[in-house]
Structures are given as C-alpha cells and as structure tokens.
Structure 1
Amino acid sequence: MKAYIIKNATIVNEGKQEIADVYIKNQRIEKIGTQLSNRGAIEIDAEGKYLFPGFIDDQVHFREPGLTHKAEIYTEAKAAVAGGITSFMEMPNTVPNTLTQELLADKYAIGAKKSLANYSFFMGASNDNLEEVLKTDIKNVCGIKVFMGSSTGNMLVDNEKTLEGIFKNSPTLIATHCEDEATVQKNLKLFKEEYGDHLIPEMHPLIRNEEACYLSSSFAVDLAKKHGSRLHILHISTGKETFLFDHITPLKDKKITAEACIHHLWFAAEDYVTKGNWIKWNPAVKFSSDREQILKAVLDNHIDVIATDHAPHTIEEKMQPYAQAPSGGPLVQHAFNALFELYHEGKISLEKIAEKTAHNLAICFQIKERGFVREGYFADLALVDLNASYEVSRENVLSKCGWSPFEGQTFNSKITHTFVSGHLAYADGAFDESILGERLSFNR
C-alpha cells in the first residue's frame, strides 16, 4: 500500500481546528505534525482545504441482494466514497430479509468482494427469529435492526412479547425504525375515505404523522429503560421526539441514543409541492418547525449522530402516483455537502459536523480505531474544499438509480480526496478500486 503525506491541511477533529501534516502508512495515520519530511511518500498539497475524519454512515439501504435493479453495494459504496463517507452500516430489509446468520454472512461476503468503503451489516429481527438474533457476533456486527413500523417481507416487529424478548436479551445495540403501524393505517384509511385514489405527496406527513412517530419512539424508550437495553433510534423526524432523549455526557455512558438524517435537516413539508415523491421517505419529512427542532437537538446533543438513510429507488418507481411510489431516496453522495451548506449558512460548526458524522458514531457503536484523526487509527479521511461549488444534476449522480433529491442544487463545497483504511480511493473525481474497504470491528 502506498504511503502519503497530506501537507498543510486544516484538520477538523475533536472540537478544534489545527493546520498540520498527516503521514499515512500501512493503512494508518502514523504521524500528525508540522513540516513532516516526505519519507518517500506521495505528497498531497492540502493548503486551504479541510481534513475531516471520514463520515461513518450508520443507516444505508444498498439493496443487495434481491433489489439490485435499484442499487448494489458496488455502485452505492462508490457514491458514498465520492461523498466523503468512508464506512457504512447497511440494513437488513433486502430480499431475502437478513434474518439468519447464514444470510448475514452472505452479505458480508458480497461486501468483501465489492465495497470500496468500509462496511458492516445489521442483523435483522422479525416476530419469530429471536434465537437467530441472539447468535449475533457483537464484535463483528454493528447491531440488531428492529422495524417498529412497516417494512418489506417479514420485518415488521409488532408482537409485544417478541419486542420484550429482543429488548431484554439482545447482546448488542438495538437500532429501531419507529412508526406506529396502527396509527399510520388509521390515518391512511381516513385519507382514502375522503380523497379516494387522489392522494398526493403533501399528505405524506399527515398520514405518517407526529403521533405515529412519537407513540412508537416513546414505546421503544420505555422498553429500553425497563430492560436496560442499548437502544439507538434512527431517523428522528419530529420535534416532539427530540425531548425523549437526554444530553448527558460523556456519550459513552448514554444507553439511549438517537439519529437525525440529512433529509429531515434539509427538507420540510413545503417542499412536497415542488419535489413530490422525490422526498417521500419513511418516516416522512415533516414541517419546518420539526426541522428546526431536530437541528437544535443535534446542536445541544439530545440527538447524537447524523446519517443518510440512503435508500434508492428507480426513476420509474418514484414517478408513480403517490400511493404507489416507494419511500426513500439516494443521499450518500451529497450528505457531507448538505451539512457544509448548513455551515456556510451559519447553522452548524465544522467541529460539530465532525462530531456528529464520525466521532459520535465511533463512540455509539464502539467502532475499533476509527472515527477520529488520531495517530495509530485507521486513515479514514475526507479532504474538503469549502470554496469549490458545483451543481447536482443527473449527469453527475453516481448512485445506480440515476437521480437525486438535490438535483438543481448548487453546493459551495466539494470533497476532493477520500482515504479508506489508508488507501486513496477517490481523488479529484477519479476512483482507485485496486484496494477495497474493510469490515468494521467493534470494541465490545
């Protein structure tokens, strides 16, 4: 593996910024300092650019196996790396659902052969696979995923006895999708009675409303408190839910944590008029007041991490009428850019971005030797030019689905280089796929 020296970068790490050189050798950060000698390494001039720990995305849907007409690990991992995401954790609602240890092992085998980024895969829970869940190797698997809301196949866990068993006995972190299915179906029935087949995207946050989210999230929190579980609630979409969480420090002592997603920090209900199904997600993008409260909760540490919930569908699927169009969209390529745009708007600091996209992920999931710019740690790094703009178009979207909810958006920043486990996987628009990413491991 080649050695590199990144010269004169402004390193954003652990609450501060400093200008320094970073020497990368044998996958790791060997030295951080000033005026480091070349040592036979390839030199990268980073003056005026910002060096971040690589974004660790704890929630993606890369659609493999079984749904590869939408996306696949190969294409989506490349899009992630182009966006400065160096590690991802992928969800189990593929086809077949990842509900056995054998199926989980199959996904890891695909990742080892195809992923340019570092990877981990969640073990899925259903109403009847608790025995399989309890076999999960906690040192080599990121966590258990529980859909407490609708999903594909057999993945809706709505049996209270099963939920009690999972929360009481899970050997590791439980990540939950929280929407109360009964409330969603009740709301959908009411809208169909009034509007028939003429449902439109603007109704999405009213059908999958605050009540559905809060009922389920608060139930999960109550279960976790009852059993002392390690709970991580994904994609908080309402302001009300943010008050379910504490902002205690240090984070490593926090048993119940929460995630905000890029689309809930960027879009709001007003955007359905122009964006329509392109911003249809579950949980729904809600109202501007929710968006503001979610950002506030990120800043004051009630919400601990930021992720994407990258979940591609084809253009043809998303162009169907609202009721038939699936929920989800591609985000990994532009997530960092969106956060840097919020920085340019004065809404979040660079230090907070590093904390919520890397440091806190490493702490929450107990990821081994990643998530920080530290000597001895794996060199998972993103070099960013905060003064280089470009417009998102279908021509420059890298996800297999070929579209983005950010089409037409001009971002005022650009990821120029991405290192994955010490390998320069992406530089100035070009990929080097000669070395692939690695499986994440966990200090548990």
Structure 2
Amino acid sequence: MSDWLVVNAEMINEGKRFHGDLRIRDGRIERIDAALSARDGERVLDAAGRWLIPGMIDDQVHFREPGLEHKADIESESRACLAGGITSYMEMPNTKPPAVDATAIADKYRRAAERSRVNYGFYLGATNDNLKEIRRLDPRSVPGIKVFMGSSTGNMLVDDPATLDAIFRDAPTPIITHCEDTPLIEANEARARERWGDDIPPEQHPLIRSREACIKSTRLALDLARRHGTRLHVLHLSTAEEVALFEPGPVAGKRITAETCVHFLHFSDADYARLGHLIKCNPAIKTAADRDAIIRALAERRVDVLATDHAPHLLDEKNQPYTRAPSGLPLVQFALQCALERVFDGVIPLERLIESLTHAPATLFDVRDRGYLREGYYADLALVDPAKPQTVRREDVLSKCGWSPFEGTTFRSSIAATFVNGQLGHLDGRIDDATRGTRLEFAR
C-alpha cells in the first residue's frame, strides 16, 4: 500500500465545498488542509481542481454469486464499481442458494475476501420459515435483513402475516424491504396474458407491476414499522405517492428511511418504446411525473439514499418475450455519472447528492469510518472530472453481462480516479487488479 498526497482538489463533504489537499497514510485519511507538502516516498496525485468526494456506498446490488455466475460475479461487478467510483456495496440475498442463514452469509464473505475489488457487506434474507435465524443474528455481521414483500425468487417472498409481524418486532438490525403487492401484480399480469399471451408489450410493465401494488405494500411496511418501532429502510421507491409517505429531514435520528435508484431519476415510461426489456426492472420505471417527484423528494431529504439496484442479465435473456425476460439492469459502472446529471440540470444541489450517495448510507447502516472525508476515516475516495464528458460504449462495459442501458448516452462528467482503503484502484480508465476491498464493519 502506497501513501498518497492528493493536491489541488475541490472537496465536497458534509454540505460544504472547499479547496485543498488530502493526505493518505496506511489506508486512511491522515490530514486534510488547505496546503500540504509532499513527504519523502509519498506519491502525489494532482486533482487539478476536480471534485474529490467520498466513494459512493451502494446499499443495493445483486452480484449473482453464488449460483448465477453466468450473469455476473463478485470479481466482475466489483471491478465495474471501481471504475464507477463506488467503493463499498451491500449485496442482496437472492442468490443460489439464497443467503438466508449464517452459513450462506459466511460463504459470501469468504468469496468476497478473495476477489472483491471494493468493500462489501451482505444482507441476510428473510423467509416464511427462518425467524429463528433472524432472532439469533449478530447485528454486527450484516448491514440488515432483506424482506421481499413482493415477488422474489425461491422461497424469499415473505407473505405470511404472522411471520412479517414477528420479523418487524424482533429484527436486531435495520429491515430492508422490497415493497410490491404480489396478488395485485398477478391479477394484472393475468389480464395482460389474456390479451397478448407471452409477448406482452414492454410498455405494459409499469401497468402490471403497478403503482397501486407499490403503494399498498409500502403502506403495509410503514404500518408494521410504526407499530413495532422498527428501524425500516424502504428500497427503490418508484412513485410520487410513495415518496409523499416519508418525512423530509436528515437521516440521523429517523426510524423510517427511504431509498430510490439512479434509473428512476433518468428514465420514464416513454423510454420503453426505445429500450424495451432492457429497462424492465422491479419495481417498474413509471411516468415522467413520478420521476420529477422522486427527484424533488431526494433534493428535500424526503428520500434519504440514492443507490443502483444493480441486477445484470445477459442480452439473450433480456431479448426474450415479456413473460420470460428477467427484470434488472446493470448500473454500477455509470451510476455516479448518471446521478450527477441531476446536478448539471440544476435540480439537485451537488452537496445534497453527495450526501445521499455517501454520508446517508454510512449513517443509516452504522458503517464504521467510511462515507465521509474525515481525518482518521478510510481513504475511500472518488475523483470526478466535471468538465470531461463520457459517452457510454458497449466495449467499455466491465460488468460480465457486457451491455448497459446507457449505451450512446453522453454524461457530462467522468470518473478520473478511485481509491479504496488508500489503494489507487482506478485511474483514467485503468483498473489495478491488485486492489482489494475489505469487509464493512457495522458499529452497533
């Protein structure tokens, strides 16, 4: 591990912007000051006035390992994170086998320790029959407990009312929910099948996985959390009605928080005609009015966290008819740039966007010594060039699936460099494959 001095940076941190230098020693930020002199043996990176921010903490990814490595794996997707300025991720439990017990969680941590290029944590998944596992969970071992209150894979749909109530009452960590009402979705899809068979038009997706299904399930989660005083985090909000259910304000002190994803800030239902199943995801991308309401809610801290829900599938899988085309998009490599478009558009202040990508998830999940530019914290950093556009090309995609929904899009910024635990893992498009992340610690 080398010691570094990053000079001439425009730092964005904790609601402030300031010019200065940052010293990295033994993997941590040793000093932040207006002007620092290089020491013997210290490598210097001239930021040239570019934006230096904490690395993004993505609290919602699907890296497909174990069991679905033909789509993605920990190594390939964490490399894409590194290129995109994401320095830590929290990965979902719906793998094969699903991560619904301590043995499966330990296996994921072992795999990541060997191959993850950035820092990592893994959720425990809830089922209708693993309540004992949830009750004996060490709260420091995982970021939270994932509850699928909508359709999921295998037995991970928790639809038993008594079990749901017990999970919300007894969970020793934050509960993370996917909220969609399965009976409503199934009824909508049955009607669509009657008309179109398997080849349902892609633009029907937000009508099948409807706003009513999202709102009903989100209201249920909020009611359960309020009844039991649960620490609840609701994932990937996609409707104007849902974001209105949450209170604005800083994440610290909230018992109920919300998240949305970069694709809900970027796409709308008008894009199904052009991209079809490439933007099919659950919950569905909805209207431009929903998109605008979500952007406003993120700006006013009604929505606390911005993440990806990175969920890659192969192109030949996506090109199947509607009923067989899987839901999910590969997003981590270009998520930060996509998010920054809202800053360039003037609809979200830069300081607030950085808070939602870095500070808020660190605070919400009690992540130890990460998510901020602070002396003594780990040197997880992204250097953003706000004056160097990048056009997304298929040949540049690092995710194993080999495609991006952003292909052909020109973002107004680029990711110049990424540090993980003081290691310069990415510089000007080049990845250092010696870079290794470490297991996230949760200070509970």
Partner of 2:138: 137
Shift of the alpha carbon at 1:393? 1.3
Partner of 2:215: 214
Within 1, Cα distance between the matches of 2:169 and 2:199?
A: 44
Within 1, Cα distance between the matches of 2:395 and 2:140?
A: 40
TM-score by length of structure 2 reads 0.98
Partner of 2:381: 381
Within 1, Cα distance between the matches of 2:44 and 2:362?
A: 28
Partner of 1:37: 37
Partner of 2:426: 426
Provide Cα deviations, 1:213-232, integer angstroms capped at 9, x if missing partner: 00000000000000000000
Is 1:109 the counterpart of 2:122? The answer is: no
Within 2, Cα distance between the matches of 1:387 and 1:435?
A: 27
Shift of the alpha carbon at 1:103? 0.6
Within 1, Cα distance between the matches of 2:345 and 2:244?
A: 26
Match runs of 1:346-385 below 5 Å: 346-385=346-385
Given that residues 420 and 435 in structure 2 are in contact (C-alpha distance below 8 angstroms), is that contact kept between their aligned partners in structure 1? no
Partner of 1:243: 244
Within 1, Cα distance between the matches of 2:435 and 2:138?
A: 26
Shift of the alpha carbon at 1:48? 2.1
Within 1, Cα distance between the matches of 2:137 and 2:428?
A: 39
Given that residues 386 and 412 in structure 1 are in contact (C-alpha distance below 8 angstroms), is that contact kept between their aligned partners in structure 2? yes
Given that residues 198 and 322 in structure 2 are in contact (C-alpha distance below 8 angstroms), is that contact kept between their aligned partners in structure 1? no
Within 2, Cα distance between the matches of 1:252 and 1:342?
A: 24
Look up the SS of the partner of 2:31 in the other structure: strand
Partner of 1:393: 393
1:75 maps to a residue whose letter is S
Given that residues 246 and 302 in structure 2 are in contact (C-alpha distance below 8 angstroms), is that contact kept between their aligned partners in structure 1? yes
Shift of the alpha carbon at 1:288? 0.5
Given that residues 8 and 46 in structure 1 are in contact (C-alpha distance below 8 angstroms), is that contact kept between their aligned partners in structure 2? yes
Within 1, Cα distance between the matches of 2:141 and 2:379?
A: 20
Partner of 2:224: 223
Look up the SS of the partner of 2:332 in the other structure: coil
Q: Which runs of 5+ in 2 are unaligned?
A: none
Within 2, Cα distance between the matches of 1:311 and 1:56?
A: 16
Given that residues 150 and 181 in structure 1 are in contact (C-alpha distance below 8 angstroms), is that contact kept between their aligned partners in structure 2? yes
Look up the SS of the partner of 2:368 in the other structure: coil
Shift of the alpha carbon at 1:390? 1.8
Within 1, Cα distance between the matches of 2:199 and 2:24?
A: 57
Partner of 1:317: 317
Shift of the alpha carbon at 1:195? 2.7
Look up the SS of the partner of 1:360 in the other structure: helix
Is 1:404 the counterpart of 2:404? The answer is: yes
Q: Which runs of 5+ in 1 are unaligned?
A: none
Partner of 2:330: 330
1:367 maps to a residue whose letter is V
Which deviates more, 164-173 or 130-139?
A: 130-139
Partner of 2:276: 276
Within 1, Cα distance between the matches of 2:426 and 2:218?
A: 38
Within 1, Cα distance between the matches of 2:147 and 2:193?
A: 29
Partner of 2:125: 124
Partner of 1:23: 23
Partner of 2:288: 288
Shift of the alpha carbon at 1:290? 0.5
Shift of the alpha carbon at 1:242? 0.7
Provide Cα deviations, 1:110-137, integer angstroms capped at 9, x if missing partner: 0100100000000011000011122222
Within 2, Cα distance between the matches of 1:98 and 1:133?
A: 12
Given that residues 299 and 349 in structure 2 are in contact (C-alpha distance below 8 angstroms), is that contact kept between their aligned partners in structure 1? no
Within 2, Cα distance between the matches of 1:126 and 1:21?
A: 48
Within 2, Cα distance between the matches of 1:198 and 1:278?
A: 15
Which deviates more, 399-408 or 422-431?
A: 422-431
Within 2, Cα distance between the matches of 1:301 and 1:169?
A: 28
In angstroms, what is the RMSD of aligned CA positions?
0.9
Within 2, Cα distance between the matches of 1:382 and 1:246?
A: 30
Given that residues 299 and 347 in structure 2 are in contact (C-alpha distance below 8 angstroms), is that contact kept between their aligned partners in structure 1? no
Partner of 1:4: 4
Look up the SS of the partner of 2:244 in the other structure: helix
Provide Cα deviations, 1:153-211, integer angstroms capped at 9, x if missing partner: 11000001110110000001000000000000011111122333341100000000110
Shift of the alpha carbon at 1:16? 1.1
Provide Cα deviations, 1:282-338, integer angstroms capped at 9, x if missing partner: 000011111010111101111000000000000110011122100001000000111
Shift of the alpha carbon at 1:87? 0.1
Shift of the alpha carbon at 1:248? 3.8
Within 2, Cα distance between the matches of 1:288 and 1:25?
A: 46
Given that residues 71 and 313 in structure 2 are in contact (C-alpha distance below 8 angstroms), is that contact kept between their aligned partners in structure 1? yes
Within 1, Cα distance between the matches of 2:55 and 2:85?
A: 6
Given that residues 88 and 120 in structure 2 are in contact (C-alpha distance below 8 angstroms), is that contact kept between their aligned partners in structure 1? yes
1:49 maps to a residue whose letter is R
Is 1:81 the counterpart of 2:82? The answer is: yes
Look up the SS of the partner of 1:328 in the other structure: coil
Given that residues 385 and 413 in structure 1 are in contact (C-alpha distance below 8 angstroms), is that contact kept between their aligned partners in structure 2? yes
Partner of 1:52: 53
Within 2, Cα distance between the matches of 1:53 and 1:140?
A: 23
Partner of 2:154: 153
Shift of the alpha carbon at 1:435? 3.6
Shift of the alpha carbon at 1:401? 0.1
Within 1, Cα distance between the matches of 2:387 and 2:86?
A: 20
Given that residues 53 and 383 in structure 2 are in contact (C-alpha distance below 8 angstroms), is that contact kept between their aligned partners in structure 1? yes
TM-score by length of structure 1 reads 0.98
Shift of the alpha carbon at 1:345? 1.5
Within 2, Cα distance between the matches of 1:342 and 1:231?
A: 27
Given that residues 101 and 135 in structure 1 are in contact (C-alpha distance below 8 angstroms), is that contact kept between their aligned partners in structure 2? no
The 3 A distance-change label for structure 1 pair 30 and 223 is same
Within 1, Cα distance between the matches of 2:144 and 2:55?
A: 20
| Equivalent residues, number | 443
2:373 maps to a residue whose letter is V
Is 1:196 the counterpart of 2:205? The answer is: no
Within 1, Cα distance between the matches of 2:292 and 2:309?
A: 19
Partner of 1:99: 100
